[in-house]
Amino acid sequence: MDRFLLEYEMKRRGITVQKLCDDLHISRTAFYRKTHGISEFTLSEIKDICNYLKLDSPMGVFFSSESVAKDTVTVNQGV
55-77: pLDDT as tens digits: 999 999 999 866 555 544 444 45
Confidence (pLDDT) at 44: 96
Q: What is the CA radius of gyration of the chain?
A: 14
pTM of the model: 0.79
Confidence (pLDDT) at 70: 53
- As for how many domains the chain has, the answer is 1
| DSSP calls for 13-73 | TT--HHHHHHHHT--HHHHHHHHTTSS---HHHHHHHHHHHT-S-SBTTTB-HHHHHHHHH
Counting as low any pLDDT under 50, the low residues of the chain are 71-76, 79
Using DSSP, state whether 43 is helix, strand or coil: helix
Confidence (pLDDT) at 74: 46
Q: Go through the chain and tell me how many residues it has.
A: 79
Domain containing residue 49: 3-77
